[in-house]
Structure 1
Amino acid sequence: MRRLRVMVIGAGAFGGWTALRLGRLGAEVTLVDSWGPGHARASSGGETRVLRRSYPEGDFVRLADRARLLWLEEERRSGLRLFEPIGVLWMSTAPGEFERRSMENLEAHGVPFERLDPSEIARRYPQLRSDDMYGGFFEPGAGYLRASAACRAVRDALVAEGGCYLQAWCEPGEIRSGELSGLTLPDGSTRAADRYVFAGGPWLAGQFGERLGISLRVTRQEVFVFGTPRGDDRFGPGRLPVWAWLGDRFWYGIPGEGSVGGFKVADDTRGPSFDPTSADRIPSADGLERVRNFLADRFPGMAGAPLVDAAVCQYTEAPGGRFLADRLPGTSNAWVSGGGSGHGFKHGPAIGEYLASLVIGDREPGTDRAFSTVEEIRTPR
């Protein structure tokens, strides 16, 4: 029997894991990306991403829990270190719904966590200013993922297991009798398969325009990495977990960032609209000043720390943060997925598992509440 031929466009967290899962289910898979897995413009690019199961929505707790198991399984299979389980500390100055519902969901799903009062936070993490805190909680099984390295590892696993990888920009061909006819490459040549998956992140909505008829707003986000004081290990991963601060803004950070071993800090507040292809990626002076003020206030030992790296990335927003996973309207052989909404990377293996089940026909779109269909988020006309 001839193997099912599938082309997956986009080698980030959604597309790469979908391609790998389909290959392991017996499909003949070609993964395509314009600039490479985890490239500098990609939503899945950069050194690190947080892996947490703390969510006020139970569906995301479940999905993240499944994804974490699949990350660990892939580590064992590949022998690569993709996940650093140093925990995540959540903090706030006032009781809030996010914390309350997240802890309820963690408890309901059997995910270990610890409630911490300000005195315990101060005892464990004296490098943090905690005198104004209401409290927080600690998720010990959380941590951070090696983002772009993981995207490359997934691509390499696909190829090692018999799949193909093609680095090229491609355009979807015509839709004839309810089927996508193929892909067109820049040299005018075409590629055809039995089924197609488009997981182009911030490029997805623009790729299909009116056919999708949905709004997936792309926002500009800034990330800063600061050098830690010489001879001072208080701000490294041995002394500090991944952390998240819920206040007027939602700040988060990762110690020991990348090859520079820096202190990563980012503001999760949604920025202005952003063009992922043509826009410059130079962080703003206002953003740098804001993050320096936050650091000096919350991590006094990092006041005046040198900036050693910075980047501009993007979020692709879907309503309610639920990921798009559906057939391309008007087709029976093409699927679309996107809307990572700033939290999609960690879920990649579980998203790939779900998308692959749609493509091979084991499930139908709309059967998992962590995902949206096109109809659910379609822009009113």
Structure 2
Amino acid sequence: MLLNSFRRASSAWGARGFSSTCLRRGPDISRKSRVIFSGIQPTGTPHLGNFLGALQNWVRLQEDSQPEDVLIYSIVGWHSLTLPQNPHALAVARREMLAALLAIGLDPKRVIIFHQDDNPHHTDLSWVFNCITPVGKLRRMTTWKARLATSRNAKDESEVDESMLNTGLFTYPVLQAADILLYKATHVPVGEDQKQHIELARDIGDNFNRTFRDLFPLPAYIATPTRRVLSLKDPTSKMSKSSPDISSRILLTDSEKEIRTKIRSAVTDSITGVTYDPATRPGTSNLLSILGACTNEEPAVVAKRFESKGHGDLKADVADAVVALLERPRTEFERLRGEEAYITRIAKEGVEKAMVRSGATMREVRHSVGLR
């Protein structure tokens, strides 16, 4: 099973991890206490990068899990506030993200799906962790710098003016650690850019364990197997909803015509033939990666089928594959986004399940730190 391979891999990752805490085990984790946690910000309609990255991996973990495994997936609304938001748009995006999670195949009877901001235990534990986390560790985090640069349209992180940094963006990795450790997660499936945050979560958990009592397992990073999907217009950047060019991304709600049009206009290069070379041919390689993700093949293997063909053939096949991949979840999403009462009920049932687990953790935390 896929999850069993993750378990073997996670042991190796712990041995060669990023800091000394990776050599410490934390409390003993029994087979039945295996807990997988991950979160996604409420960005509204997911794009192809979201789907081929985190979301498809979440479904794969659901399908390959054992009955005793606990899977917890959260829409992390508090994290979205680290950058300016339109309140009405955020409320809609929050609801639509839950609809998207159901549309892609997550089963609320098998996994816990909820809004993080509905559960006050997340911010409670985050405050405890803020009080034991050195500022120096947060300064070494790189993601907040990248997000600040993006929000200010800076070319790179060196142009970031830290006077524009708000405290929430600076400390959000601590909240992320609380999100994970609140459920005593043992495995966290996230993208490559979040590895550093899993390291911090392990450090914070280990610090709490040594300072107060052995309470938190030190979670292992589960790599998302799909390569990150890049912008169709700027293949040096990730596909993102923040780009002003709507042709740069494919949304779950895009029609077949829109998908084909966007892929036909995707940036490639003038080199004859099709080869997989991300360094010198990022646009072509991005399309090969997308096709490989849709067909469960390595991009280099996919490229061999196009040795005697051109970019037109590649784009046509990519379009066919993406249209087929998104057809069912798009139909489900369009149906579910209008069923507000059902979405509200699923969110309520999900947070109730989550709070049973998080409440037990917070009682232990409060007792440990003296807030009895």
Into which bin does the TM-score normalised by the smaller protein fall? under 0.3
- Whose strand fraction is larger, Structure 1's or Structure 2's? 1
- Whose helix fraction is larger, Structure 1's or Structure 2's? 2
Normalised by the length of structure 2, the TM-score is 0.26
